[in-house]
Amino acid sequence: MMHVDDAPQIGQIAFVLRGKDEGGYAVIIGIVDNRFVLIADGDKKRFDRPKKKNIAHLVLQSVVSTEVADSMSETGRVTNAKLRYAIQKFVQAKGE
């Protein structure tokens, strides 16, 4: 896990403020532009059908899953299991 600045990054964990996934965590798997990102949680939002989300509706966490980031940079994709694992690991580390 690495810590990051304000710009969203691939593999970064985000808390969802709006929409169906409100109150849950997801992982950024794509950057659309400076306002939108693609998120997936490996469960309801799978890698192959990510949600396009306005960054304003997310609270970016200061954690980037290196597993997800590495997988995305090496192969351009990531397994849903890896996304679920990254979120689970983050939530456990936070002690929620």
Sorting pLDDT into bands at 50, 70 and 90, what band is 96? low
Q: What is the pLDDT of residues 2-11, one digit of tens each?
A: 555 578 999 9
Cβ–Cβ under 8 Å, residues 39 and 48: no
Entry pTM? 0.92
Give the angle 50-46-90 at the CA atoms, nearest 5°: 95
| Domains (range + CATH), the chain | 12-94 (2.30.30.140)
Q: Is the pLDDT of residue 13 over 60?
A: yes
Residue carrying the six token digits 């964990």:
13
